[in-house]
Amino acid sequence: MAEFQIEKREVSEVDIISLHGFLDAHTAPQLESVFTSLIDNSKYKIVIDFQNLKYISSAGLGVFMAFIETIRENSGDIKLSAMQPNVFEIFDLLGFPMLYEIFDTTEEAINKFITN
C-alpha cells in the first residue's frame, strides 16, 4: 500500500477528505494539491477525516495552516475529526485545538456545517 492516500467525498455541500497512512514532508504536497483544487472550485466547507492517518509531522500540520485564512475569509472552515491518539497528541502539543475545531467523529464535523 502507498505510504499516503487521500479519498474524497461530498455530503450536503461539505467536502470530506479522508487521510490514510503517513503525512510528512514527502506526502504533504499531495494534500496541498487537494486544498488548492477545492479553493479553485470555491469549496470552503471542508472536513478532514483522520481516522486512518497513522502519523503526522510538522509538514503535515503546515498544510492546514497554509489554507485556513483563505478558507475562513470565504465563510468556510477546516474541521478535523476522528484523530488517533498519537496524531491528536501532536496537534495538542502545539496548541492547534485553539485554532481548529476537532470532533470525535466525522459525522459530528459534517453536522456542524449543516446545522450552522
Partner 1 sequence: MTAKKNRSYELIVKSETSQLVAIRDFISEKAKENLIQDSILNAIILAVDEAATNIVKHAYNYNPENTINLKLIISDKDCTIVLTDFGKSFDPSVIPQPDMKEYLSQHRVGGLGLLLIRTLMDSMEYIVSPEGFNRLILKKVFDKAVV
Residues in contact with partner 1 by CB under 8 A are: 3, 22, 24-26, 55, 57-59, 61-62, 65-66, 68-69, 86, 89-90, 93-96, 98-99
Alpha helices by DSSP H, listed for the chain, are 28-40, 58-73, 85-93, 106-115
Judged by beta carbon, residue 96 or residue 111, the one nearer partner 1 is 96
Residue 25 or 114 having the CB closest to partner 1: 25
Q: Which of 67, 113 has the CB closer to partner 1?
A: 67
Please name the residues in contact with 15: beta carbons below 8 A apart, sequence gap of 6 or more: 8, 9, 38, 43, 45, 46, 47
CA–CA distance, 49 with 6 (Å, rounded to integer): 10
**Whole-number Å distance between alpha carbons of 29 and 84:** 22
Please count the CA atoms within 13 angstroms of the CA of 99 that sit on its side-chain side: 16
Shortest distance, position 40 Cβ to partner 1, whole Å:
19
Shortest Å, Cβ 48 to partner 1: 17
Q: How far is the CB of 77 from partner 1 (least distance, A)?
A: 13
The CB-of-62 to partner 1 minimum distance in angstroms stands at: 5
- Closer of 56 and 110 to partner 1 (Cβ): 56
